[in-house]
A and B are shown apart, each in its own frame.
Chain A
Amino acid sequence: MSTLYDFALRMGDNTLILGHRVSEWCGHAPVLEEDIALANTALDLIGQTQLWLGLAAEEEGTGKTADDIAFLRDAWDFRNALLCELPNGDFGRTLMRQYLFDQWHLLMLQELQKSSEKRVSDIADKAIKEVSYHVERSRDTVVGLGDGTAESHKRMQDALDYLYPYVGELFTPDAVDDAATKEGIAPDLASLREAYDAAVAATMAEATLALPESRFGHKGGRNGKMHTEHLGHILTQMQWLQRAYPGATW
């Protein structure tokens, strides 16, 4: 399969799986405005999934659709970063996960706007408008809750401690990424880290939260070698109808 296919799959699986997670909140948020914001975020991510997986399907060229890719692969074929599949936990962990992802997503999309592949830069142009808002909101919420009450501070620190070991994977290139960089499709992932660290450090300082010292990073999602146990459960829900009633049109 082409580098572009692999690349589109990684982008699309990130937004698909994170969008699914965020959508689990529907109707259960702490306040009505957050119900709206979470549904809106999930909606944006699923919309971006349609574009990325649509591109992957087009690149695959076997007549498959974005839906076939989303609903008919098993866990080992998923290429999302592990961060995206981690359970929601409390609202604080959900928003911390969102911020850690959004900040990466924004930097990535900024670079992808310069992609040599027009179909990629087109998607980036569209997605970045949404993601600029996502990061603004998730950042504000992390700051507000980090620097809120003693309880909210503790919950946010716990969330950061739990999630931070999943950040490194977003910046660790492998052969697929190297090929994408070489072809001018995507930036060198490692090159995004400095700007990311600066932005995250500023946010956490404002949120009065301490960044974990260890830079250890869990890996295995982006190359599909070892997802968490959580992904399989997402797929049992997400893919159930398509699997139980093959060939139906919905």
Chain B
Amino acid sequence: MYAQMVKSTGEGVKSREDMSPEEAAFQDRIDQDIKIEPKDWMPAGYRKTLIRQMGQHAHSEIVGQLPEGNWITRAPTLERKAILLAKVQDEAGHGLYLYAAAETLGVSRDELTEDLLSGRMKYSSIFNYPTLNWADMGAVGWLVDGAAIMNQVPLQRTSYGPYSRAMIRICKEESFHQRQGYDIMMKMANGTDAQKKMAQDALNRMWYPSLMMFGPSDADSVHSAQSMAWKIKMDSNDELRQKFVDQTVPQAEYLGLTVPDENLKWNEEKGGYDFSEPDWNEFFDVIKGNGPCNTDRLAARNKAWDDGAWVRDGLLAHAEKRAALKTAAE
């Protein structure tokens, strides 16, 4: 998943005594793992939080096309170019499923798009980092999709039916993405000196931004408790981050690459790695719009939308003419 710091009600989790009968029945269903469907009653906060989360995820897929699209025309072989095209196409498809799933909550794709373009809604901080060498295509698949999968796999069990079903489809494709990313890293890490340098450079730049994908540490995550009670967030940020590090470090070792963290150390007692936290000031800067690519990414999406207005208007006008002809003929 590509959602970070999704705001919930901001009021903390209601106790059973404070819940209305409807709210209590709703919570019971969730606790029994019964899926909530679009026509079911749901608390306004649940609906709102889900729209934010699914919208942020969808926007991330859309903006996420850009850093990879940056290398499609420079892909070094026909096969790599085909794989990258297929991957970016999948991402647009994920955006589409997620917008469609969000629409079941009563918000249109156009409304969500406007919120992305105006900057009112966010997308994952990771996509505000640049892709600077070919190994970044490997690192994005390996680390970024790898981090996304950590979140997405549990979300297949999320309480909202349409979201859960979208996530099941998405997960199938994401694991393919991660594998192709690692495959690029293998080629690079076992390649020429220049390729090894690209691979290490990519890891150096992508490591901490990937850790940031899970969001701030649990102590600073004010909205998590409610989302977890509603099962729209399944694990805490720190749990997932730890899992990601534990999974990824041996993979980096296998590649012969060095994780850029002097404090990285296996901790026998906890059965996981100790590692440095990312620079959270940098994270908050990126979230506020001051990442290396925020301005360019939003400008690119706005340009695509503005330049495409005549196309959307033209096709709509044509469809209306066709419909009018059909009505007249009947």
Chain A interface (Cβ < 8 Å from any Cβ of B): 16, 20, 23-24, 26-36, 39-40, 42-43, 46-47, 49-50, 53, 66-67, 70-71, 90-92, 141, 143-145, 147-149, 151-153, 155, 237-238, 240-242, 245, 247-250
- Given A27-B304, A247-B192: A46 in contact with B81 (beta carbons within 8 A): yes
Q: Apart from A36-B96, A145-B315, list 4 A-B contacts with CB within 8 A.
A: A148-B313, A151-B310, A241-B75, A248-B194
User: Quick one: which of B72, B82, B195 contacts A47, CB cutoff 8 A?
Assistant: B82
The distance in angstroms between the C-alpha atoms of A70 and B78, with both chains bound, is 8
Name, among A148, A152, A248, the residue most crowded by chain B CB atoms within 10 Å (CB to CB).
Answer: A148
Interchain CB contact under 8 A, A148 and B314: yes
Interchain CB contact under 8 A, A43 and B311: no
Q: Is B73's beta carbon under 8 Å from chain A?
A: yes
Chain B interface (Cβ < 8 Å from any Cβ of A): 62, 65-66, 68-69, 72-82, 85-86, 88-89, 92-93, 95-96, 99, 109, 134, 184, 187, 191-192, 194-195, 300, 303-305, 307-319, 321
Of all chain A residues, the one with the shortest Cβ separation from B79 is A50
User: Quick one: which of B89, B109, B134 contacts A39, CB cutoff 8 A?
Assistant: B89
- Chain A positions within 8 Å of B134 at CB level: 241, 250
- Given A43-B82, A237-B73, A248-B194: A152 in contact with B311 (beta carbons within 8 A): yes
Interchain CB contact under 8 A, A49 and B78: yes
- Given A28-B304, A32-B95: A145 in contact with B318 (beta carbons within 8 A): yes
Interchain CB contact under 8 A, B96 and A143: no
Interchain CB contact under 8 A, B317 and A148: yes
Interchain CB contact under 8 A, B80 and A250: yes
- Chain B positions within 8 Å of A249 at CB level: 187, 191
- Given A46-B81, A250-B80: A29 in contact with B317 (beta carbons within 8 A): no
The distance in angstroms between the C-alpha atoms of A70 and B308, with both chains bound, is 32
The distance in angstroms between the C-alpha atoms of A149 and B312, with both chains bound, is 10
Quote the shortest CB–CB distance from B237 to chain A (angstroms).
Answer: 28
Name, among A16, A27, A29, the residue most crowded by chain B CB atoms within 10 Å (CB to CB).
Answer: A27
- Chain A positions within 8 Å of B109 at CB level: 32
Interchain CB contact under 8 A, A155 and B76: no
Interchain CB contact under 8 A, A23 and B85: yes
Interchain CB contact under 8 A, B88 and A149: no
Chain A interface, >50% SS class: helix
Quote the shortest CB–CB distance from A11 to chain B (angstroms).
Answer: 14
Interchain CB contact under 8 A, B72 and A23: yes
- Given A50-B79, A149-B313, A151-B314: A29 in contact with B195 (beta carbons within 8 A): no
Listed by A's residue number, 7 A-B pairs whose Cβ atoms lie within 8 Å are A20-B73, A28-B303, A32-B99, A71-B76, A242-B76, A247-B192, A250-B80
Quote the shortest CB–CB distance from A113 to chain B (angstroms).
Answer: 23
User: Quick one: which of B66, B77, B85, B305 contacts A250, CB cutoff 8 A?
Assistant: B77
- Chain A positions within 8 Å of B315 at CB level: 141, 144-145, 148, 152
The distance in angstroms between the C-alpha atoms of A247 and B242, with both chains bound, is 39
Quote the shortest CB–CB distance from B142 to chain A (angstroms).
Answer: 15
Interchain CB contact under 8 A, B313 and A26: no
The distance in angstroms between the C-alpha atoms of A35 and B315, with both chains bound, is 16
- Given A152-B311, A237-B74: A46 in contact with B82 (beta carbons within 8 A): yes
- Chain A positions within 8 Å of B88 at CB level: 26-27, 39
The distance in angstroms between the C-alpha atoms of A242 and B134, with both chains bound, is 11
Of all chain A residues, the one with the shortest Cβ separation from B304 is A28
- Chain B positions within 8 Å of A90 at CB level: 307
- Chain A positions within 8 Å of B311 at CB level: 30-31, 34, 91-92, 145, 152
User: Quick one: which of B89, B194, B318 contacts A144, CB cutoff 8 A?
Assistant: B318
The distance in angstroms between the C-alpha atoms of A35 and B75, with both chains bound, is 19
Quote the shortest CB–CB distance from A18 to chain B (angstroms).
Answer: 13
User: Quick one: which of A32, A50, A70 contacts B62, CB cutoff 8 A?
Assistant: A32
Interchain CB contact under 8 A, B92 and A151: no
Of all chain A residues, the one with the shortest Cβ separation from B303 is A28
Interchain CB contact under 8 A, A30 and B307: yes
Quote the shortest CB–CB distance from B191 to chain A (angstroms).
Answer: 6
What 5 A-B pairs come out closest when comparing CB atoms? A30-B308, A152-B314, A148-B314, A27-B65, A26-B69
The distance in angstroms between the C-alpha atoms of A23 and B191, with both chains bound, is 27
- Chain B positions within 8 Å of A151 at CB level: 310, 313-314
Interchain CB contact under 8 A, A31 and B66: no
The distance in angstroms between the C-alpha atoms of A215 and B310, with both chains bound, is 30
The distance in angstroms between the C-alpha atoms of A92 and B304, with both chains bound, is 13
- Given A27-B69, A29-B304, A46-B82: A152 in contact with B76 (beta carbons within 8 A): no
Interchain CB contact under 8 A, A91 and B307: yes
- Chain A positions within 8 Å of B305 at CB level: 30
